[in-house]
Structure 1
Amino acid sequence: MTTFITICDTCKREDWDETKNDRTHGEELAELVEAQAQRRSVETRRVSCLMGCTHGCNIAIQAEGKLSYTLGRFEPNPEDAEAIVDYAELHAQSDSGQVPFKQWPQGVKGHFVTRIPPLPGGDKV
């Protein structure tokens, strides 16, 4: 099963300023995550709004039949993008989507917002 990184491309962090920024922080993060995900075992997709505005920049890690996670409060920088993709690959390798804390990349610690169980009928947890 494919693990997807869903990236909110409309996210704006508190310091976003339309006079200084020509793109949203979400667009910048999406571009960085997409670049990191190339030739790796996860897929990316963009959506307009994950409704986590107070946690911008937001992403979701999802795969059919597995736990899903929403993470936020990222910076649109290469280090955060790499940590997101590294975590998503660990999610992909897990049967249930649960990754032991000791394996989490440092860059995702403190960024988890929600954990969503799989829909009934496909849960492996």
Structure 2
Amino acid sequence: MTHKAPTWITICETCKLPDWAERGMDKTDGEILAEAIEQRAAATGIKTRRVACTMGCERACNIIVQGAGKIGYSLGKFDGNDADAEAIVSYATQHAASPSGQVPFRDWPQGVKGHFVSRHLPPPTDPAEGA
């Protein structure tokens, strides 16, 4: 039996948009985005986790999509709304279906285009590869 490693969405729950204080929010923008992502991801098999900081404060709201042995992606500059959550989970579902984690640009949900910050290659599986 083969076990497929899950795709994860890591959500920065401490992210705050620049006008957060002026809006009088009782939750961070990251917490609001995390709740919306968690609700949508629950039915897809995509795993979620919250972290206290992804060190991308100037690009709040930030998330990371990753899976074992796959290219991972950091995304940011989201508003933290339901439309963002929908696009993020849709993209993560495509990432999960891809053996390498790469998703052709033409297939990206419109809501993630322009939000990619960086990609992270998985570590080599052969120790000699890094020598």
Relative to the length of structure 2, the TM-score reads: 0.90
Measured after TM superposition, the shift of residue 75 of structure 1 is 1.1
Are positions 1:55 and 2:82 aligned together? no
What is aligned with 1:87? 91
CA distance in 1, matches of 2:92, 2:114: 16
CA distance in 2, matches of 1:7, 1:89: 16
Are positions 1:105 and 2:106 aligned together? no
Letter in 2 for 1:8: C
Letter in 2 for 1:49: C
Measured after TM superposition, the shift of residue 41 of structure 1 is 2.4
CA distance in 2, matches of 1:16, 1:95: 39
Instruction: Write the deviation string for residues 78-123 of structure 1: whole angstroms up to 9, x where unpaired.
Output: 111000000000000000000000000000000000101001117x
Measured on the aligned residues, the alpha-carbon RMSD in Å equals 1.2
Conserved 8 A contact 1:41-1:92: no
Measured after TM superposition, the shift of residue 15 of structure 1 is 1.1
Aligned to 1:26, what secondary structure does the other structure show?
helix
Aligned residues: 122
Residue segments in structure 2 that go unaligned for 5+ positions in a row: 127-131
Moved over 3 A (4+): none
Residue segments in structure 1 that go unaligned for 5+ positions in a row: none
Identity of aligned residues (%): 57
Conserved 8 A contact 1:13-1:25: yes
Letter in 1 for 2:78: F
What is aligned with 1:26? 30
Instruction: Write the deviation string for residues 33-64 of structure 1: whole angstroms up to 9, x where unpaired.
Output: 00111211211100000000000000000100
